[in-house]
Amino acid sequence: MKTEELLIDKKLKLTTARKELLNIFSTAHKPLSYEELKESLSMDKATFYRNISKFEDESIIHCFESNDKKRYYEIQNKPHSHFICKLCNSIKCLHPTDNISLEGYIIEDVIYKGVCDTCNR
């Protein structure tokens, strides 16, 4: 879905900042932190976090905290898990074939932690 359609579907105002953020996240191949994005953004930190918060409320953006205590964001499409390396803090999206389920529970996120293949060499 195009960014404009996504915002219209959620009945959100179509602002330049929102379009910019959704364009960045829709083309990203991994979750991104504010620190990774700040140099390329045309908005201040408060605008970034205000829009991210709104996107989280509307289930557009999913976020999680990594080992480095930074929050990472990605478009919330198909549920999947993440692997976080405890040595280099790299993050990899995993797409397991089995869904993890617990009777009576709603699972929103699964994060595996360990040593990535690069650090393991």
pLDDT surpasses 70 at 99 = no
What are 66-96's pLDDT values in tens digits?
988 899 999 887 778 899 999 999 999 887 6
Give ranges for CATH 1.10.10.10 in the chain: 3-75
CA distance between the termini of the chain: 40
Find the mean pLDDT for residues 12-34.
Answer: 92
Q: Which two tokens stand for residue 1?
A: 């879905």
**3-75 carries CATH number 1.10.10.10:** yes
Find the mean pLDDT for residues 45-59.
Answer: 95
Please state, in angstroms and rounded to a whole number, the distance separating the CA atoms of residues 48 and 50.
Answer: 6
Please report the sign of the dihedral spanned by the C-alpha atoms of residue 101, residue 98, residue 57, residue 46. Answer: positive
Does this model's pTM top 0.75? yes
